[in-house]
Structure 1
Amino acid sequence: MTPGREQEEQDAAEARVVARVLEVRTGRTGTVEHRGRSVPTAFRKSPRTGPVAVATLGLEGDEQADPRVHGGPDKAVYAYPVEHYAWWQGRLGVALAPGFFGENLLLEGLTEERVHLGDRYAVGELVLEVSMPRRPCFKLAAVHDRPELPELLQESGRTGFYLRVLAPGSVAAGERLVPVGDPVTTVTVHELNRVMNLDRSDLAAAAELSAVPQVPERWRQSLARRLDGHQEPDGPRLRGT
């Protein structure tokens, strides 16, 4: 390859970089008090230095307290946009430290309106795919002693998003996420959260999303049940009732 060609390819790659990893965080399972009882959670995560290995089920050293609803291939890595932190500080009236939302990756440059289901990003050999928005649960409220947080996070649309691991590798703070291929859907993370969690009367959109293969199977089943007139309650998830 000629030096000129190498420079062209390098310039093209640089132009496609749309995000940067500011922090990588992992956590072990502990407990938090909720409604007079101790519940397990790995929500509290600490920053890691140097490359962290990432496999199909997530980052090395990261745990999920309840595998029925957390973790798994569709929720291997949780990313949160740093751009939202200023809004939350104004909304909550307190200074927020990174890791407030239990994220594995604190990102700069990707927000819910910009990323689509199925979008792929590479960090070296690691290839990640956007899978779904976060559906917050009561443990967010318990960790921060703010009962309103889960519902507010969901309603704000500032949910962050999960990533599948298509090819294992490693990730470190300061690295860049490079998009791989073209978008395979027009469904943004923001739109899926709107239809799935907020505008539940929008049955036309629910029907469309229930047929999109990139929407996780469990969510497509939920949308199909909605079309049959069955709505799932939010109370157990958001309030732990």
Structure 2
Amino acid sequence: MRLLSLQVGRPAPLPWRGRPVVSAIAKTPVEGPVALGPEGLDGDEQADLRHHGGPDKAVCVYPAEYYPHAETLLGGPLGPAAFGENFTTAGLADDEVVVGSIYRIGTATVQVSQPRRPCFKLAARHAGRPGAGRLPVELQTAGRTGFYLRVLVRGRVSAGQAFQLLHTPAHGLTVAEVNRVMNVDRDDLDGVRRLLAARADLPARWAEALAARLGGRFDDDSARLAGPG
């Protein structure tokens, strides 16, 4: 389990369907060491603070193992941070990483908080490529979303460092499984109950939305696969 590269970015206009959308999805690799705190990496920013950033989304992670799938969809090679991720990793696949797991990377300690919800800005990032418009939905339905980290202990991180697993929750719910129940198979109430049993490792907003489903209310925004993110 290794950090292959780390990236930061600042908000800038991104063309989308004839109008500019401000986003920090275009990120630049940095070698490090880079300071990492509860709000993320030093030098990294978010344009839409309602849907991005904050303690539960301090770091966006995307596995390098998923790049070939996206390159096939998009018709060619992709450059660094093609998915707007802060960490590009090896050995941390969505179907293996358990939500709530705690890792040490560099001198920081981080915890897996939730799957990423790919938004339309990924399509905008790759506008002009074949399949770009389908990219957010394709990644979500395929269970290749990547995930977010919260920071438990501040520290400094550098590209090339290894992740050390410190704790794995007993519930065993992977990023891929949480994504499936939360965002794809939304009528799987048995799955909802399994997630609620592990609610201590989920963001409060997600737990509230899941509880509402058991009452027959689907009033959260998780069905908007290509929505605001």
> What is the deviation of 1:227?
1.9
CA contact (8 A) 1:210 1:221 kept: no
Given residue 125 of structure 2, which amino acid in structure 1 is its aligned partner?
Answer: V
The 1:56–1:184 alpha-carbon spacing in structure 2 relative to 1, beyond 3 Å, is: farther
Are residues 1:215 and 2:202 paired?
yes
Counterpart residue number, 1:228: 215
Given residue 24 of structure 1, which amino acid in structure 2 is its aligned partner?
Answer: L
Counterpart residue number, 1:168: 154
Q: Report the TM-score when normalising by structure 1.
A: 0.87
Are residues 1:32 and 2:14 paired?
yes
- Range with greater deviation from structure 2 (179-188 or 131-140): 179-188
Q: Distance in 2 between matches of 1:71 and 1:215?
A: 16
The 1:156–1:80 alpha-carbon spacing in structure 2 relative to 1, beyond 3 Å, is: same
Q: Distance in 2 between matches of 1:160 and 1:67?
A: 19
> What is the deviation of 1:181?
3.0
> What is the deviation of 1:70?
0.3
Q: Which structure shows the bigger proportion of residues in helix conformation? A: 1
- In the alignment of these two chains, the number of paired residues is 222
Partner residue of 1:124 out of 93, 102, 106: 106
SS of 1:97's equivalent?
A: coil
**Aligned Cα RMSD in Å?**
1.6
Given residue 38 of structure 2, which amino acid in structure 1 is its aligned partner?
Answer: T
Partner residue of 1:143 out of 125, 142, 146: 125
SS of 2:150's equivalent?
A: strand
Q: Deviations over 1:151-195 (max 9, x none)?
A: 111111110110010000011111111111343431100100010
SS of 1:147's equivalent?
A: helix
Q: Distance in 2 between matches of 1:50 and 1:106?
A: 14
SS of 1:86's equivalent?
A: helix
Partner residue of 1:155 out of 116, 119, 141: 141
Counterpart residue number, 1:3: none
Counterpart residue number, 1:9: none
Counterpart residue number, 1:97: 79
Q: Distance in 1 between matches of 2:223 and 2:213?
A: 17
CA contact (8 A) 2:184 2:223 kept: no
> What is the deviation of 1:207?
2.2
SS of 2:67's equivalent?
A: helix
> What is the deviation of 1:221?
1.1
Q: Distance in 1 between matches of 2:227 and 2:162?
A: 36
Trace 1:186-201 onto structure 2 (pairs within 5 A): 186-201=172-187
The 1:70–1:86 alpha-carbon spacing in structure 2 relative to 1, beyond 3 Å, is: same
Given residue 226 of structure 2, which amino acid in structure 1 is its aligned partner?
Answer: L
> What is the deviation of 1:204?
1.3
> What is the deviation of 1:229?
2.1
Structure with the greater alpha carbon radius of gyration: 1
Q: Distance in 2 between matches of 1:194 and 1:78?
A: 19
SS of 2:125's equivalent?
A: helix
Given residue 134 of structure 2, which amino acid in structure 1 is its aligned partner?
Answer: E
Counterpart residue number, 2:48: 66
The 1:233–1:178 alpha-carbon spacing in structure 2 relative to 1, beyond 3 Å, is: closer
Q: Report the TM-score when normalising by structure 2.
A: 0.91
Q: Deviations over 1:21-76 (max 9, x none)?
A: 11010000111122332221000000002201000010000001011110111000
Are residues 1:238 and 2:226 paired?
yes
The 1:233–1:53 alpha-carbon spacing in structure 2 relative to 1, beyond 3 Å, is: closer
Counterpart residue number, 1:13: none
Q: Percent identity?
A: 47
CA contact (8 A) 1:26 1:62 kept: yes
